[in-house]
């Protein structure tokens, strides 16, 4: 898409001296014109950062990933440094009195002195040797790139102030960015995220790293030939991400990862557009537009989004980025969704710290768009029906632009999607915007998460999704384990999604056919019908459902779900599941949650409902029905 139209021979890049994407700190009128509450919040963040000591990044903490599989402790300290630095730098830009500069310089110097800017969990993906990477051969992961871009933006914003402190600081920043990012990325093609030597489609690493590389390049690289060659290579790499992307715009990594997949691609395209004075502009391309719209198509209500794969059940979106993406593609609904998210999320303004290692690029976009977004139309589009035929995901709700009533989402696809769970044929149900039948999501990442033992983790297994288990056999991972005979229909009174999930199971499950139909009869019920044929009579057949609601099995044939408290003042939904008591025995088990990431979404426990066939047969048809209470 990009490299076929634009090459280093016809690109007309803005020079380094003329690259001024945002007002520098010396542009006092621009910073002083920001809304008073925004200025106050940014200064308060900086003052809070002054009270936090710089933490050492010890080798033994780095080695915890290799020794015990823990990645969170080192990451918290690493991200903490960067969050502190960004908060200090933005506070100085707002105030302009030099009060924060010494600590800004301390943070810059500490980070320049770090042996490795990336994360230990990513080291094995980029470096084949044991222990720490060879400093003479830097490798580039997500957070090495994020760190470099943060330093590049701060160098640009506070250039004059940094020069007044010491003439050594800015050359050191430029040297470190060049040796760690600019030169390795230009000279090497073997980083997997580039997509040049991989048979599989690159995931979010590709646009995420490229967006930061491009920012560093525009700010730091002085040589016109190297600038042009690097942008040419970035566009060739981005094409490896764009060209095979599902034409329906579906992000199989989930909405949380959309923020670093399609959203990071938007940042690349925005930088290319502005860095070439509009020469490179592809926002009218249908694929780019569909990639953007995905984020509001999978929104349920409040902070709830469809969370297939490694996505969390709740997401705090990059609201300003959504708004600007919508503006670039001319989509009023996406713009309104971004504006709505800004009004309903602390991440929409400057009052919160945002995600770990929040990039200055995203902060600056928020800061200088705040006034415009505050005046924009704001609403969640909440489309009545969505079907993404390439990734095979469906959404249906009772009413468009409303959370009243029932909502259902289901998926097909295959079991080798990025951040895959074994979940072909899974469905989730919400009522009045509240979770009823859920996908648990994913725990805090550890060494095991992306190892050969990944599917030993319960959240990855089909038995902990809304799926059947036959004689103890679950779905298997791999692209060959896929849905077939998929169809979808949406009418005024109903929507139906049907697929054969037999191919998602290994041969030992003995499934000839397992046609599942997930149907919403609007204003009435969600029904799930399974019509199957096995090549044997099983000894056990169990259908699993997961919920965060309280479960009552007092009445045969009926499972009552009642509201339960969740974190942040949220509550789970209430409803009724009806099943054939002549065929099934219902039971429930409590899954205690201790993982911090999942606790933030579901609290201390979820419940697994088991419908166990009393006399399993080789061929049968049944259905369950989910209604409002």
Same domain, 594 and 537: yes
Same domain for 304 and 262, yes or no, is yes
Calculate the average pLDDT of the chain: 94
> Are 76 and 197 contained in the same domain?
yes
pLDDT for 355 beyond 60: no
Structure tokens at 489: 């229909």
Give pLDDT, residue 126: 55
CB 160 within 8 A of CB 26: yes
On whether both 619 and 514 belong to a single domain, the answer is yes
Q: Is residue 20 part of a domain?
A: no
Looking at the whole model, is its pTM more than 0.85?
yes
* 416 CB-near residues (< 8 Å, 6+ apart): 477, 478, 479, 481
pLDDT, tens digit, for every residue of 412-434? 999 999 999 999 999 999 999 99
Of 143, 180, 177, whose CA–CA distance to 357 is shortest?
A: 143
- Is 96 found in the same domain as 40? yes
Residue 124, classified by CB atoms within 10 Å of its CB into exposed (0-12), middle (13-18) or buried (19+), is middle
Which pLDDT value is given to residue 136? 55
> Which burial class, exposed, middle or buried, applies to 65 when counting CB atoms under 10 A from its CB (0-12, 13-18, 19+)?
buried
pLDDT of residue 128: 39
Q: Cα dihedral angle (379, 383, 387, 390), rounded to 10 degrees?
A: -20
Q: Say if residue 298 is in the same domain as residue 437.
A: no
Residue 548 sits in the same domain as residue 471: yes
Contact 595, 443 (CB under 8 A): yes
Domain region containing 556? 385-627
393 and 443 in a single domain? The answer is yes
Select from 388, 314, 319, 304 the least CA-distant residue to 350.
319
What is the tally of structural domains in the chain? 2
Torsion sign, CA atoms 454, 428, 593, 506: negative
How many percent of the chain have pLDDT more than 90? 89
Which residues, at least 6 apart from 188, have a Cβ–Cβ distance to it below 8 Å? Answer: none
Examine residue 7 and state whether it is found in any structural domain, yes or no: no
What local confidence, expressed as pLDDT, does residue 134 receive?
Answer: 53
DSSP code for 401: T
Same domain, 344 and 427: no
Domain assignment present for 190? yes
141: in domain = yes
> What CA–CA distance (Å, rounded) separates 118 from 193?
14
Q: Is 178 part of a structural domain of the chain?
A: yes
Asked if the structure places residue 561 within a domain, the reply is yes
Token duo for residue 79: 């991200």
Given a cut of 60, whether residue 437 has pLDDT beyond it is: yes
Residues 328 and 403 in one domain: no
The pairing of strands 434-437 and 414-415 is unpaired
The reported pLDDT for the residue numbered 357 is 43
CATH label of the domain that carries residue 616: 2.70.98.70
By the 10 Å C-beta count (0-12 exposed, 13-18 middle, 19+ buried), 550 is classed as: middle
Q: Read off the pLDDT of residues 107-139 as tens digits, 9 standing for 90 and up.
A: 999 999 999 999 999 876 554 344 444 545 678
pLDDT at 579 over 80: yes
- Whether 3 maps to a domain, the answer reads no
9 lies in some domain: no
Structure tokens at 269: 């395209």
Same domain, 326 and 408: no
| Percent of the chain surpassing pLDDT 70 | 96
Question: Average pLDDT for residues 198-218, to the nearest whole number?
Answer: 95
């Amino acid at each position: 898409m990009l490299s076929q139209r634009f090459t280093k021979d016809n690109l007309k890049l803005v020079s380094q001296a003329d690259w001024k994407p945002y007002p520098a700190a010396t542009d006092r009128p621009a910073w002083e014109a920001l809304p008073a509450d925004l200025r106050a919040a940014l200064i308060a963040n900086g003052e809070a950062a002054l009270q936090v000591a710089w933490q050492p990044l010890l080798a033994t903490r780095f080695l915890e990933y290799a020794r015990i599989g823990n990645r969170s402790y080192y990451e918290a300290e690493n991200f903490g440094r960067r969050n502190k630095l960004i908060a200090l730098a933005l506070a100085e830009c707002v105030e302009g009195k030099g009060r924060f500069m010494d600590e800004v310089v301390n943070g810059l110097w500490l980070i320049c002195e770090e042996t490795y800017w990336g994360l230990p969990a990513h080291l094995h993906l980029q470096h084949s040797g044991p222990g720490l990477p060879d400093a003479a051969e830097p490798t580039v992961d997500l957070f090495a790139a994020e760190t470099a871009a943060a330093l590049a933006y701060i160098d640009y914003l506070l250039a004059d102030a940094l020069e007044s402190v010491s003439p050594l600081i800015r050359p050191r920043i430029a040297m470190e960015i060049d040796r760690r990012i600019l030169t390795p990325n230009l000279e090497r093609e073997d980083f997997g995220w580039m997509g040049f030597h991989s048979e599989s489609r690159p995931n979010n690493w590709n646009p995420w790293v490229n967006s930061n590389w491009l920012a560093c390049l525009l700010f730091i690289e002085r040589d016109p030939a190297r600038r042009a060659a690097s942008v040419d290579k970035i566009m060739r790499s981005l094409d490896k991400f764009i060209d095979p992307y599902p034409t329906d715009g579906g992000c199989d990594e989930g909405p949380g990862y959309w923020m670093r997949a399609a959203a990071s691609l938007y940042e690349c395209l925005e930088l290319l557009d502005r860095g070439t004075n509009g020469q490179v502009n592809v926002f009218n391309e249908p694929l780019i537009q569909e990639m953007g719209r995905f984020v509001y198509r999978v929104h349920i209500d409040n902070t709830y989004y469809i969370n297939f794969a490694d996505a969390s059940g709740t997401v705090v979106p990059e609201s300003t980025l959504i708004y600007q993406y919508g503006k670039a593609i001319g989509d009023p609904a996406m713009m309104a969704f971004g504006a709505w998210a800004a009004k309903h999320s602390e991440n929409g303004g400057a009052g919160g710290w945002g995600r770990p290692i929040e990039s200055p690029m995203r902060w600056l976009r928020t800061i200088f768009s705040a006034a415009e977004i505050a005046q924009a139309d704001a609403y969640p589009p909440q489309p009545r029906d969505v079907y993404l035929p390439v990734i095979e995901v469906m959404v249906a709700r009772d009413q468009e632009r409303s959370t009243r009533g029932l909502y259902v989402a289901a998926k097909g696809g295959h079991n080798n999607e990025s951040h895959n769970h074994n979940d072909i044929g899974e469905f989730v149900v919400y009522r009045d915007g509240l979770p009823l039948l859920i996908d648990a999501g994913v725990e805090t990442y550890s060494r095991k998460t992306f190892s050969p033992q990944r599917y030993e983790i319960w959240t990855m297994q089909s038995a902990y999704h809304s799926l059947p288990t036959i004689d103890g056999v679950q779905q298997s991972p791999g692209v060959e384990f896929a849905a077939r005979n998929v169809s979808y229909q949406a009418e005024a009174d109903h929507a139906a999604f049907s697929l054969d999930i037999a191919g998602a199971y290994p041969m030992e499950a003995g499934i000839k056919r397992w046609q599942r139909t997930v149907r919403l009869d609007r204003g009435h019920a969600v029904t799930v019908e399974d019509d199957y044929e096995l090549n044997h009579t099983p000894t056990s057949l169990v259908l699993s459902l997961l919920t965060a609601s309280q479960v009552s099995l007092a009445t045969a044939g009926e499972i009552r779900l009642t509201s339960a408290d969740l974190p942040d003042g949220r509550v789970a939904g209430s409803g009724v599941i009806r099943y054939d008591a002549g065929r099934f025995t219902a039971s429930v088990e409590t899954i205690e949650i201790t993982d911090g990431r999942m606790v933030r979404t579901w609290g201390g426990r979820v419940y697994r409902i088991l419908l166990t066939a009393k006399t399993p047969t080789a061929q049968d048809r049944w259905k369950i029905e989910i209604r409002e209470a």
